[in-house]
Amino acid sequence: MLSLLATSDFNPVSEFTDFINHPYVDLPLGLDINKGVVYLWLSAAVAILVPLLIIRKGLKAKPSRWQTFLEMVYDTAYIQIAKAGLPEEGMRIWFPYVGTCFIFIWAMNVIGFIPLPFSGESVQLLGVDVPKLQIYAASANLSVALTLTLVTFVATHVEGIRYNGVVGYFKSWIPAGLPPVRPLRAGSVGAAILFGLIAVVEVLSQFVRLVSLSFRLFFNMLAGHLVIAVFLGVGALMAASLGNAAFAVHIIGFPMGVALYLLEATLIAALQAYIFAALSAIYIGGAIHPEH
């Protein structure tokens, strides 16, 4: 089995990186249409069309299962995400944003676990080339996660300055109670050093938010897909090496694989969308009311 692993071309990471160099449509200025872009379009279509189709059927006093589901998603976005992190004066502008983040990222994560024919490879079936099915999550690409995070990052500081002014907002980064810095007094040297250290730490903490918010989404979704890919690859290698004895392995491995797949496609996909939207609301709300 080890020899099979050593000679195999199995590389689960390649499905998240190869598309960058092989776009479907090559456009200037880096605006190529690649697999990641197609998945973003699909996610946006699902996030927009599914709620519209449910609403177009008519909202009833005795809701259907789909209406109940939609109301549950709305309540989660409004109460548990937006109201929990945003002040009242920020709800009108930023509830649509954090709610959209929640639904869009959730749709993107779920679509990432649906086998779709965008692998760029094909297989012969009854003499016809049929595209291979593949699971792929756009949120498992760092550029997508980082772009979403940059929107939250910029919105946070724009709102902080808009509500508190430039001086008031950046002054709020320094904790209250520090001794005053008076340049003409020798005793202020220690206070100036302390002030400078705290300012550096606070600036770094703002950029750490940028990294942590994007990497949390990226690594969690990437890890889920890689675990599934590795299980499939190891299962195929074991089947090839064990022959008839592989049946016993599949009896145990198949249910475990299905359980892992369902866990990632349901709980983890929704949880990562919830965390991203909730942290976005908290960051924006904290910039509006930094004293809180």
Domain of 111 in residue numbering reads as: 2-288
Contacts of residue 71, defined as CB under 8 A and 6 or more positions apart, other chains included, come to 63
Terminal Cα-to-Cα distance of the chain (whole angstroms): 58
Locate 165 and state its tokens: 């002014």
pTM of the model: 0.82
Cα separation, 243 vs 239, in Å, equals 6
Q: In a structure prediction context, what are the per-residue pLDDT tens digits for the chain, which is 292 residues long?
A: 434 444 445 555 555 555 555 677 777 776 778 888 889 999 999 999 999 998 888 878 888 888 899 999 999 999 999 999 999 989 999 999 999 999 999 999 999 898 888 877 777 777 777 887 888 888 888 888 999 999 999 999 999 999 999 988 888 887 766 666 665 555 566 667 777 788 788 888 888 888 889 988 988 888 888 887 777 666 666 666 665 555 555 666 667 777 888 888 888 999 999 999 999 999 999 999 887 5
Domain total for the chain? 1
Continuous H helices in 165-268: 166-171, 189-242, 246-263
Cα separation, 145 vs 222, in Å, equals 11
Question: Environment class of residue 157 by beta-carbon count within 10 Å: exposed (0-12), middle (13-18) or buried (19+)?
Answer: middle
User: Residue 168 carries which side chain, given as an amino acid letter?
Assistant: G
